[in-house]
Structure formats: C-alpha cells, structure tokens
Structure 1
C-alpha cells in the first residue's frame, strides 16, 4: 500500500481536519483516507441508485429501458 505526504498544509485546514476526524471518531489519517476515497470515486448513475434502493432486494422489479445511441447532428 502506498503512502502520501502533504507539505505546506495550512494550520486552519489541519485544525478543521482534526475536528472532523474527532466528530467521526477516527484518526486524522483515516479521515483523510475517507475524504480522498470519496473524492476520486466515480459518480453514481441514477439507474444504479434506483436499483440499489428499489431493486429486487426490496421486492420491486425494475425494467430500465436501454439507451438508444443517436448519431451526432451534422450541419453540412
């Protein structure tokens, strides 16, 4: 697993990070890992979110339509 050092971090940022970590009852290191993980995650697709909350697991069967691919408009 890789390590990362951050230089020239403002005192105010460090203090806010310390407070945020304390609120979540984790170390500052863990809080930074969580923040970075969320920052680089791909965005959730609406269809995936719908399946997650209303899918078969909850007794609802969703039939999401397939998307049609359209040719780009030509202005020739």
Structure 2
C-alpha cells in the first residue's frame, strides 16, 4: 500500500477530523481513507447536468409536451434596445 504525508494541515481541520473519526469509531487515518474514497468515487460517476436533472425527476413520471411547429423564421437577438 502507498502512503502520503499531509503537511501544513490546519489545526482546526485536524481537530474536526479527529471528532468525525471518533464519531464513526475510526482512526483519523481510516477516516481520511474513507473520505478520499467517497470523494473520488463520486467524480467517476459524474454525468451531465441534463442527465442528473432527468434522474432526479424521472420517478415523477415526466410529461409529454407537444411542441408546436415553428411558423416564423428564427431571427437574431437585438440587444440595442
């Protein structure tokens, strides 16, 4: 197994880590391993915003919306007004 050393760790952060680790019944070292593993596994599962929105609301059944056909030609936006 590999090892890392974290230098210049803020004392308040270290104290918070100690409290969280104790509340989970783990050593600070084990708590850091768990935190890192969770953080990195979330990044791997990242999807686009649209996919995440769809996943969040998919259980509600969605909606079928009929989009009317465009009857006029699209025009450029005018920001001078």
Q: Which ranges of structure 2 fall in alignment gaps of 5 or more residues?
A: 52-81
Pairwise CA distance, 1:44: 6.9
Question: Helix, strand or coil: the match of 2:33?
Answer: helix
Matched, 1:35 2:50: no
Provide the residue aligned with 1:19 in structure 2.
Answer: 19
Number of residue pairs the alignment of both structures matches: 46
Q: Which ranges of structure 1 fall in alignment gaps of 5 or more residues?
A: 47-76
User: Matches of residues 1-76 of structure 1 in structure 2 within 5 Å?
Assistant: 1-41=1-41, 42-43=44-45
Provide the residue aligned with 1:71 in structure 2.
Answer: none
Q: Could you state the TM-score of these two structures normalised by the residue count of structure 2?
A: 0.52
- Runs of at least 4 residues of structure 1 off by over 6 A? none
For the aligned residue pairs, the C-alpha RMSD in angstroms reads 1.6
Query: Per-residue CA shift, 1:13-70, capped at 9, x if unaligned?
Result: 0000000000000000000000000111122778xxxxxxxxxxxxxxxxxxxxxxxx
Question: Helix, strand or coil: the match of 1:25?
Answer: coil
Q: Could you state the TM-score of these two structures normalised by the residue count of structure 1?
A: 0.56
- Higher Cα Rg, which structure: 2
